[in-house]
Structure 1
Amino acid sequence: MRALTVRFALGDVVLGALIGLLAMAPASTVHALELVEDAPELYDVRPGDTLWSIAGRYLRDPWLWPEIWYANDESGNPDLIYPGERLRLVHVEGRPRVVRDTATGASGDMRVVRLSPRVRVSALEAPVPMIPVASIAPFLTQSRVAESDAIKHAPYVVGFADDRTIAAPSDEVFVRRIDTTAVSEFEILRPGDALRDPDTNRILGYETTFVANAVLERVGDPAILRVTRSEREVSIGDRVIPASLEAPLENFFPRPAPAGMRGRILSVMNGVSQIGGYDIVTLNRGSHDRLAPGHVLEVFRGGEPVRDKVRDGGMNWDWKRDGPRTSEFWLGNDYSVKGWSESPTGSSEPIPLHAEIGRDRATYIRPMQRVGLLMVFRSFDRVSFALVLDAKRAMSVGDRIAPPAP
């Protein structure tokens, strides 16, 4: 049986690839380097660091790390940074650069890698990855978005062996229907709601929840599958599709999203309402919109109308006068007298001259403010998954996204 695995080599080649990528990029896509105010002169790399978090200690725009990294000829492989090493901020030809301090490491000792004849020795510590890959590992190869409602017509779980009501690893499940042995490995998914573009109401795809992996035991109607791995119990009605054979993404190359890109956050994984650092979000833009893994976008809040409490009198409430005999008690404070009116012509019970009351709708538009930064790590046709890398304040579904400003 072929094992479905997620492989990562983010720290091994990412810096070199990033440097090459930016070197080939058009000049208009290169942003100006800007150090943060408290950029450290010395920084000791610690376990748990990522290249993104280290870059954020030096740069306002962390994706420009390859622009500031300076490879010493004596520093060994310039594409690898390990916990325990020390970084130093210097200036080379008037430009800020971060170099590996070859004199000492975090412990004050020289970094030594001992070699023996015919023996390959690797570092005791794994190199620092670009991003916290554990946050996105389950989303890299498992299908999470169906691009059409065909998922609803896929073979489905109809029952279980031994009169079970659910199934777990090693259990057998009955599926209608599978007539061929051409595919032997399957994913079991749970269909969800349609993903609709908040601006056009167009259906962009369908949410699916990964349930389990299974292998074919016997074709037929129903066919028999055996569950090999699961994230949740398999239930009747879950859909069955061939396991994804796409190659797992090896590296991420952070770079600004295409100029002019505009979009919104569609949803956030795990059912939370407020979005923070390292949360996974769904965007209403995908490969059809030239959005690809590694693209960095800023998140903005604002643009919605907000009540102006001063203009509409909402701040002038007098609690001593607010009683059943006052208009404010029944109408609230956001009203005004629009004029005077007599009873309609032909009314059988004439109404005396009376005031026409109307409500004021004084509003202002909340200014757009940058509240976070995210990076796309998987793209579908009309939808993408992204990891929130920086959250200056809580974000919400519906917040807007755009490429970083140069």
Structure 2
Amino acid sequence: MPSQPNAHRASAVPARSFQRRRSAIACALACLLLLAATAAMAQGPLRTDAPDRYVVQPGDTLWGIAERFLSEPWRWRQIWQANPGIANPSRIYPGDVLVVDRSSGSPRIRKAHGGGGLRTVKLSPRVRVEELDREIPTIPVNAVAPFLSRPLITTAEEIDSAPYVVGFPEEKIIAGLGDTLFVRSITTTRNDRWDVLRPGRAYRDPDTNELLGYVATSVASAQLERLGDPATLVVTRSHKEVEVGDRVRPAQDEEPIRSFLPRPATAGMRGRIIAVLNGVSQIGQFDVVALNRGRREGVEVGTVFAAYQGGELRRDRVQARRSGWNWRSETPADTSFWFGDWELDGWNRGRPDPNAPLPLHRRASRADGQFIVPDSRTGVVMVFRTFEKVSFALVMRANQAIHVGEVVAPPRSL
């Protein structure tokens, strides 16, 4: 009987030793995971070849600057550290010095002290001086300037209710710069500047066939001379000849795109490229595209999508070479005889007499004779103008030619 406690203690020692070893191993693994996570956090979204210091140049854009530091420029806000000790801390100007600050363990981009402070502007008598070193815009403004106010997406109701050109003096059939327009009907207005627009093609959702709106392209700008029905307007700027039926609307001044920062589309948001606004067939960098998603779906100015191609069915040529079916070669002993992957899809020759005992000339192919093309990223687009059901986006990056119909979705990390 006295030996039993000793035996119990002897068996307990290896158990406790095993538990200690297991705890030590678990602790070591946890430390390794913590170190790996810390290293990943320390690197963050920075590129491996990111500069430690960059001087902002005239002509730079926020997107271009972000690409110097990040593989995914839309993540700029995650690492940008606005310096509260200088004027306009969230804006960047030519001459500002950007540095990588790793002092906090997680890298941040900030302005160097002494750069981007208060600026001195010299004033001369009788000369109006504007600030020459305007803040750096988010995207190339010259690429989107023609699309900030024109064209626009409108509805059939808006087209029907808008004042329209009904004619011209002296029985003209078109009008140009300096010509007078008769417009029905403008009886009250606070605006004397008007845009002349021409309703164009309809945009439809390629998946649901829903009518998303009509494109109204800019034809001319005009000055209101007299209210009435018809009212009279004079063409002050002409892009095309004005025709009877063109619509007019009060001119609208768009705010310059300078103050927003890109942000990725929300999870689950998907759409398609439905048109390219400059009429090319293959879309490249700085082309403007229309998307079948707008304010209704939560798209905002600055929303970033990645464009993807793939998903279509293609013929498997390898399987096609093995599609010569011979019914004589199969037996009931072969499982493919009962559960085979062949599909009868036609006749090699003219259809035989229905009284023929066997379909000697039937054609068959394997059911797996097609495959789905994996999707791949073709580029990145950023929305700069939104409508209710449509938005305009600028192609910021093109890995290859992008095409109308490609899917846009939140960008996945590379």
TM bucket, shorter chain: 0.7 to 0.9
1:63 to partner: Cα distance: 2.1
1:307 to partner: Cα distance: 2.2
Correspondences of 1:210-225 after superposition (within 5 Å): 210-225=218-233
Structure-2 change in CA distance of 1:398 and 1:116 (3 Å) = closer
Correspondences of 1:104-119 after superposition (within 5 Å): 113-114=119-120
| Larger deviation, residues 265-274 vs 83-92 | 83-92
How far apart, CA to CA, are the structure 1 residues paired with 2:228 and 2:131?
Answer: 52
1:247 to partner: Cα distance: 6.5
Structure-2 change in CA distance of 1:227 and 1:121 (3 Å) = closer
Correspondences of 1:219-298 after superposition (within 5 Å): 219-244=227-252, 251-298=259-306
1:360 to partner: Cα distance: 7.3
Instruction: Find the partner of 2:374 among 367, 374, 385.
Output: 367
Contact 2:296 2:388 in 1 (8 A): yes
Does residue 342 of structure 1 match 2:352?
Answer: yes
Correspondences of 1:199-218 after superposition (within 5 Å): 199-218=207-226
Which SS does the other structure have where 1:374 is aligned? strand
Contact 2:86 2:117 in 1 (8 A): no
1:124 to partner: Cα distance: 4.6
Structure-2 change in CA distance of 1:73 and 1:290 (3 Å) = closer
1:149 to partner: Cα distance: 4.8
Does residue 87 of structure 1 match 2:94?
Answer: no
Structure-2 change in CA distance of 1:338 and 1:268 (3 Å) = same
TM-score (norm 2): 0.72
Does residue 180 of structure 1 match 2:191?
Answer: no
Structure-2 change in CA distance of 1:140 and 1:73 (3 Å) = closer
Structure-2 change in CA distance of 1:209 and 1:118 (3 Å) = closer
Amino acid at match of 1:377: F
1:404 to partner: Cα distance: 2.8
RMSD: 3.8
How far apart, CA to CA, are the structure 2 residues paired with 1:248 and 1:39?
Answer: 30
| Larger deviation, residues 118-127 vs 207-216 | 118-127
| Larger deviation, residues 254-263 vs 275-284 | 254-263
| Residue aligning to 1:53 | 64
Instruction: Find the partner of 2:391 among 351, 375, 384.
Output: 384
Which SS does the other structure have where 1:180 is aligned? coil
Contact 1:286 1:383 in 2 (8 A): yes
Amino acid at match of 1:44: V
Does residue 44 of structure 1 match 2:55?
Answer: yes
Amino acid at match of 1:342: P
- Give the structure with the higher percent helix: 2
Which SS does the other structure have where 2:396 is aligned? strand
How far apart, CA to CA, are the structure 2 residues paired with 1:78 and 1:220?
Answer: 51
Structure-2 change in CA distance of 1:142 and 1:251 (3 Å) = farther
How far apart, CA to CA, are the structure 2 residues paired with 1:269 and 1:259?
Answer: 27
| Residue aligning to 1:324 | none
Structure-2 change in CA distance of 1:259 and 1:214 (3 Å) = same
Structure-2 change in CA distance of 1:370 and 1:343 (3 Å) = same
Instruction: Find the partner of 2:146 among 130, 138, 141.
Output: 138
1:76 to partner: Cα distance: 5.5
Any stretches of 5+ residues in structure 1 without a counterpart? 1-31, 315-334
Amino acid at match of 2:388: D
Identical aligned residues as a percent: 46
Which SS does the other structure have where 2:75 is aligned? helix
| Residue aligning to 1:393 | 400
1:242 to partner: Cα distance: 3.6
1:25-76 Cα deviation digits (max 9, x unpaired):
xxxxxxx941123212232322221011100111122122233233457765
Contact 1:40 1:58 in 2 (8 A): yes
| Larger deviation, residues 296-305 vs 164-173 | 164-173
How far apart, CA to CA, are the structure 2 residues paired with 1:116 and 1:207?
Answer: 46
Structure-2 change in CA distance of 1:161 and 1:248 (3 Å) = farther
Instruction: Find the partner of 2:136 among 102, 113, 128.
Output: 128
How far apart, CA to CA, are the structure 2 residues paired with 1:225 and 1:111?
Answer: 48
1:151 to partner: Cα distance: 1.1
Structure-2 change in CA distance of 1:124 and 1:304 (3 Å) = same
How far apart, CA to CA, are the structure 1 residues paired with 2:254 and 2:55?
Answer: 38
